[in-house]
């Protein structure tokens, strides 16, 4: 179902690294999350962060948790009221009628094994 531009009530999104399905590799997401920002531009190919959208701008691939939230919302709201898109397509759906903008956070506290242990292999406090 095609959403009216700027009139979507609920918009769900995820960062490019969390939504990446580049070569359908689970390692890509882990590497994107663990490489310190100081080195990210050297080790992460920008093409890996380009995600596929449907023609209307909706996201093809997002983290499973975000799809679960979408599924639960669709029990109460129509497809025209709930959209999952990538950050680069937010302007297609967020507008004056938008009531909720939910941003997926896979690891909001930064305490997963990948971000806690693997990032320390390159040295602590390398965010700058």
Q: Tell me how far apart the alpha carbons of residues 128 and 126 are, in angstroms, rounded to a whole number.
A: 6
Q: What is the pLDDT of residues 21-44, one digit of tens each?
A: 766 666 666 666 666 667 777 777
Tokens of 124: 């602590």
Q: Tell me how far apart the alpha carbons of residues 116 and 126 are, in angstroms, rounded to a whole number.
A: 12
Q: Across-strand partners of 101?
A: 11
Q: What is the pLDDT of residues 50-59, one digit of tens each?
A: 788 999 999 9
pTM of the full predicted structure? Answer: 0.72
- Helix residue ranges, H only, 36-82: 37-43, 64-73
């Amino acid at each position: 179902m095609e959403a009216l531009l700027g009139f979507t009530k609920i918009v769900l999104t995820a960062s490019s690294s969390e939504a990446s399905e580049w070569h359908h590799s689970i390692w890509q997401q882990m590497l994107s999350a663990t490489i310190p920002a100081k080195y990210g531009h050297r080790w992460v190919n920008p093409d890996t962060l380009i995600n596929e959208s449907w023609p209307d701008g909706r996201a093809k691939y997002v983290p499973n948790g975000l799809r679960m939230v979408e599924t639960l919302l669709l029990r109460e709201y129509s497809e025209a009221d709930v959209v999952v898109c990538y950050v680069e397509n937010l302007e297609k759906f967020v507008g004056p009628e938008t009531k909720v903008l939910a941003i997926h956070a896979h690891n909001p506290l930064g305490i997963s094994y990948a971000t806690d242990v693997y990032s320390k292999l390159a040295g602590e406090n390398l965010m700058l």
